[in-house]
Amino acid sequence: MADVVVLLEVTLLEGQKDGFLAKAEQIQSHLAHVPGFVRAERFQSVSEPNKVLSLSVWKDNESVKAFLTSEEHRKAQRESMEGVFSDYRITVASADRVFSPHEHH
């Protein structure tokens, strides 16, 4: 069971949404080969069109830490702050419980 969720909340600079989504697809293709990565999804705010939430699910905290401290991730952060994001926030959360109609607790 995956138990760590990473939320990347970004505010994009005007006109950067398409470029951000293209880069996010490239990163997601890379993540498929990263140990501990489970899945990722992106959502656009309905009230603020320049806000996007990327949600990724990981096997454990060690996998998240390895990715967040990797040179590839640091490079992507630098590039994004130089003309794509006006702001961002990363939240790492561990699940206390996961409920599903298919799992019994």
Alpha helix (H) residue ranges in 1-105: 17-31, 61-68, 71-81
CATH number of 4-94: 3.30.70.100, 2.70.50.60, 3.40.50.1220, 3.40.50.720? 3.30.70.100
Largest CA distance in the chain: 47
More confident residue, 101 or 5: 5
Q: Between the CA of residue 72 and those of 31, 66, 93, what are the distances in Å?
A: 11, 11, 22
Across the chain, what does the average pLDDT equal? Answer: 86
Q: Where are the domains of the chain?
A: 4-94
Give yes or no for residue 11 having a pLDDT over 90. yes
pTM: 0.81
pLDDT at 104: 61
- Tokens for 51? 């806000």
Q: Between the CA of residue 32 and those of 24, 56, 89, what are the distances in Å?
A: 12, 11, 23
